A and B are shown apart, each in its own frame.
Chain A
Amino acid sequence: MKSVKLYPKIARDSFLEQFKWSIWFFSFLTLAHVIGMFIANRNDANVEGFFVFSSYSAAIFMLVCGIIAAFGFMAYFVQHGISRKDMFFGVVIGAFGLAIAVTVVPLAIHGIEHLISNFVSMPVKSDSLTIFERTSGWFSAIGVFFLNVFTYYLVGWLIGIGYYRFNWLIGLGFVGLAIVALSLNGFFWGEAGLSTIIPWIPYIPTEASLLMSVIGSLLLIAVLIIATRMLTKRIPIKL
């Protein structure tokens, strides 16, 4: 038998499966956004543009996908005779693709919203609609969104594996780790949260140092990927 590399197949499969979920997710989110606009319209208020509007919930969606990946995909692939290594790289690549999709889809919806707003007046904050017009801002906004959702997926995966592999108590420890990781992520992107809790951590506004934020974020992603690989390298599969 020829040896075949299976991880591209797995990447494709895990991406497609989760992309299907994301279509459901964005359908509901779009609906929520439209409802939000109606409510805002009545109260003379404004809602965020779709891209900004979806950033938090998209991250949570990715977190959940990551958790499901640990319980759903991992064992399933190995049970069908796929090595943990192929499974791991397949799922990571699939998640990378998913993170791109989850960034591009709200961007596209945002673009459509932007087009419509040229003809119809909508209760959407004008500055959040202009990301397509500001040459400096839009690229970094998309990059930040992508890194953020990818990080959330990896964190979810790590939590899932913690629970899958160990008991609930250690699993809870993984949730703690996840909070640390996400706080770090927030810190890199200029959320003041961490610096108000831990006084010796300086507050770095994103605008001040985009490069540092990107490096920090990439480092965090690398650490998460390595940790997940170490935990799954020899993981026993439950029956």
Chain B
Amino acid sequence: MMEAHIKIDNVTLKFGKFEALKDLSLSLESNRIHGLIGRNGAGKTSLLSLIAAFRETTEGQVFIDGEPVFENADKMLQVSFIYNKDYKEEYEKIPQFLEFPEYYRPSYDKEYADYLLKRFKLPLDKPISKLSKGMQSALNAVIGLASRSPITIFDEAYVGMDAPAREIFYQEILADQAKHPRTFILSTHLVSEMDYLFDQVVIIDQGRLVLNGDYETIASRGASITGAADQVDAFVAGLKVLNEQKLGGTKSVMVYGALSEEDQQKAQQLGLEIGPVSLQDLFIHLTEEAH
């Protein structure tokens, strides 16, 4: 399997006067699972459609392994962009429908696709338009996984899937990534449910990059400090506060930024409790402040 590294270089994307992406620069390492997180309208799908060469940047350039991707036949073939497609006019049945990716995707694995169809319990004898939304999403997941494209993008591909189906989807991403590593980009709202999948996390908001880093580092940068209100206030002075909650004399403050060894000792002396912050909370509060 080849590697595919993505570089987004000062990219701006405009729709008329509206700027969906604003001078965004970002580098996505190959063969890792990237979680792309952003609120509605943050520009996630815009960014992904640039990577997949569905559209052209207004300014800047998207590179795959150093080559601009737009209208680059070799690079475009390496990208699978899976999103919630409208299947209401798709009268074909699944086996016929899958002939197309099998024929065009160089790394498509039919055996694996058949295995996934069974795992998701997808009916092979019904027109796709007649399947439920969750089943259509599962079909998308099958296409995305079985194509084994060096860059595989799932843009909220889980929509409509029930919890067991989503679980299968996540398990298969991890299992297949272990055997056939590739660059995954998973865009999602369901941060708390999917965060364990991510090697890397990219958060964007209002068309700008908020942060990009590996999951461990980012998760360790958030901390919640709980204790007596005045002591907590004194401790967090000078730190970047994301959120505060107060109950009687006890206060819990969410801070962002690595706490030094010194800070941690100091907290212990003051009898303050330091706890982790979930990626979900970080996402909520990091993207909230801008609004």
Residues of A within 8 A of B70 (CB): 234
User: Which one of B71, B85, B105 lies within 8 Å of A234 (CB-CB)?
Assistant: B71
Instruction: Mark each residue of chain A from 78 to 111: 1 if its CB lies under 8 Å from any CB of chain B, else 0.
Output: 1111111110000000000000000000000000
Residues of A within 8 A of B74 (CB): 1, 3
User: Which one of B56, B71, B83 lies within 8 Å of A239 (CB-CB)?
Assistant: B83
Instruction: Let me know if A6 is at the binding interface, CB within 8 A.
Output: yes
| Interface pair A85/B71, CB less than 8 Å apart | yes
Residues of B within 8 A of A79 (CB): 54, 81
Query: Contacts A239-B45, A239-B83: A81 and B76 contacting too (C-beta < 8 A)?
Result: yes
- Chain A residues numbered 52-94 whose CB sits less than 8 Å from any CB in chain B: 76, 78-86
Count of B interface residues, CB-CB < 8 Å: 28
Q: Which residue of B lies closest to A76 (CB)?
A: B100
A16, chain B: closest CB distance, angstroms:
12
| Interface pair B81/A82, CB less than 8 Å apart | no
A interface majority secondary structure: loop
Instruction: Let me know if B72 is at the binding interface, CB within 8 A.
Output: yes
Instruction: Let me know if A215 is at the binding interface, CB within 8 A.
Output: no
Residues of B within 8 A of A239 (CB): 45, 49, 54, 83, 85
Instruction: Let me know if A202 is at the binding interface, CB within 8 A.
Output: no
| Interface pair A78/B104, CB less than 8 Å apart | no
User: In whole angstroms, what is the CA distance A6 to B77 when docked?
Assistant: 10
User: Which one of B49, B71, B81, B103 lies within 8 Å of A83 (CB-CB)?
Assistant: B71
User: In whole angstroms, what is the CA distance A78 to B72 when docked?
Assistant: 11
Residues of A within 8 A of B79 (CB): 81
Instruction: Let me know if A236 is at the binding interface, CB within 8 A.
Output: yes
B144, chain A: closest CB distance, angstroms:
12
A85, chain B: closest CB distance, angstroms:
6
Instruction: Let me know if B149 is at the binding interface, CB within 8 A.
Output: yes
Instruction: Let me know if B290 is at the binding interface, CB within 8 A.
Output: no
Q: Which residue of A lies closest to B86 (CB)?
A: A239
Query: Contacts A1-B78, A236-B56, A237-B55: A81 and B71 contacting too (C-beta < 8 A)?
Result: no
A68, chain B: closest CB distance, angstroms:
11
| Interface pair B73/A86, CB less than 8 Å apart | yes
Instruction: Let me know if A125 is at the binding interface, CB within 8 A.
Output: no
| Interface pair A80/B73, CB less than 8 Å apart | no
Instruction: Let me know if B160 is at the binding interface, CB within 8 A.
Output: no
Query: Contacts A83-B72, A84-B71, A236-B56: A9 and B78 contacting too (C-beta < 8 A)?
Result: no
Instruction: Mark each residue of chain B from 51 to 82: 1 if its CB lies under 8 Å from any CB of chain A, else 0.
Output: 01111100000000000001111101111110
Residues of A within 8 A of B54 (CB): 78-79, 236-237, 239
B254, chain A: closest CB distance, angstroms:
35
A18, chain B: closest CB distance, angstroms:
15
Instruction: Let me know if B2 is at the binding interface, CB within 8 A.
Output: yes
User: In whole angstroms, what is the CA distance A239 to B84 when docked?
Assistant: 8
B48, chain A: closest CB distance, angstroms:
9
Q: Which residue of A lies closest to B72 (CB)?
A: A83
User: In whole angstroms, what is the CA distance A1 to B100 when docked?
Assistant: 20
Q: Which residue of A lies closest to B54 (CB)?
A: A237
- Chain B residues numbered 144-187 whose CB sits less than 8 Å from any CB in chain A: 149
Instruction: Let me know if B106 is at the binding interface, CB within 8 A.
Output: yes
| Interface pair A81/B78, CB less than 8 Å apart | yes
User: In whole angstroms, what is the CA distance A34 to B212 when docked?
Assistant: 70
| Interface pair B72/A81, CB less than 8 Å apart | no
Instruction: Mark each residue of chain A from 111 to 152: 1 if its CB lies under 8 Å from any CB of chain B, else 0.
Output: 000000000000000000000000000000000000000000
B237, chain A: closest CB distance, angstroms:
47
Residues of A within 8 A of B134 (CB): none
B268, chain A: closest CB distance, angstroms:
51
- Chain A residues numbered 1-28 whose CB sits less than 8 Å from any CB in chain B: 1, 3, 6, 9, 13
Residues of B within 8 A of A85 (CB): 71, 73
Residues of B within 8 A of A1 (CB): 2, 74, 77-78, 106
Q: Which residue of B lies closest to A75 (CB)?
A: B54
Q: Which residue of A lies closest to B155 (CB)?
A: A239
Q: Which residue of A lies closest to B70 (CB)?
A: A234
Residues of A within 8 A of B52 (CB): 81
Q: Which residue of B lies closest to A7 (CB)?
A: B73
Instruction: Let me know if B127 is at the binding interface, CB within 8 A.
Output: no
Nearest 8 pairs of A and B residues by beta carbon: A236-B55, A237-B54, A83-B73, A81-B77, A81-B76, A3-B74, A80-B104, A83-B71
5 new A-B contacts, CB < 8 A, other than A13-B103, A81-B52, A84-B71, are: A80-B100, A83-B76, A236-B54, A237-B49, A239-B54
